[in-house]
């Protein structure tokens, strides 16, 4: 993904290489975004799936398949669903619950529930080359 300038709630501009996912089941195609190497088969495909559970939902990202090596980056997952979220896990590990959107924008890892906008945001660093599971739970994870 190309770099994007975004504005935080604090009014600051930051440059990001983060992958933002407004979730829909499917496959993400990734090449270098610069060359025509994708025409030679140099790209990666990553599958995204969302599974609802009685106590929340799981967003699963597969390991990429293909010859393009995806560089490490932040992953930001936003779930737009009216559901109570009390905890989030990334590969069964609970990242910190952050106090607001500004703290979320500045953190390397964590999650934030914006109940006014009915969206939960989770951020983690790394995992570009492997499968990752992100859980959004209506009870505190143990």
Averages of pLDDT over runs of 10 residues in the chain (142 residues) are 42 52 73 91 91 91 94 87 90 94 93 88 91 90 58
Under a CB-based contact definition with an 8 Å cutoff, are residues 68 and 11 in contact? no
- The first and second tokens of residue 8, run together, are 């935080």
- pLDDT given at position 18: 59
* CATH code that applies to domain 4-137: 2.60.40.1180
SS (H, E, C) 34-54: CCCHHHHCCCEEEEEEEEEEC
pTM: 0.77
What residue segments make up the domains of the chain, in order of their start?
A: 4-137
- pLDDT given at position 84: 87
- pLDDT given at position 82: 83
DSSP string, 91-117: TTB-PPBPSSHHHHHH-SSEEEEETTT
């Amino acid at each position: 993904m190309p770099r994007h300038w975004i504005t935080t709630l604090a009014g600051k501009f930051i440059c990001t290489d983060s992958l933002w996912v407004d979730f829909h089941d499917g496959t993400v195609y990734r090449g270098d975004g610069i060359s025509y190497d994708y025409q030679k088969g140099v790209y990666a495909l990553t599958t995204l799936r969302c599974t609802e559970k009685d106590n929340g939902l799981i967003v699963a990202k597969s390991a990429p398949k293909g010859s393009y090596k995806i560089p490490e980056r932040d992953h930001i997952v936003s779930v737009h669903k009216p559901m109570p979220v009390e905890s989030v896990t990334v590969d069964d590990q609970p990242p910190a619950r952050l106090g607001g959107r500004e703290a979320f924008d500045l953190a390397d890892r964590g999650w934030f529930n914006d109940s006014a906008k009915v969206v939960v945001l989770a951020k983690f660093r790394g995992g570009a080359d492997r499968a990752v599971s992100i859980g959004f739970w209506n009870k505190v994870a143990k």
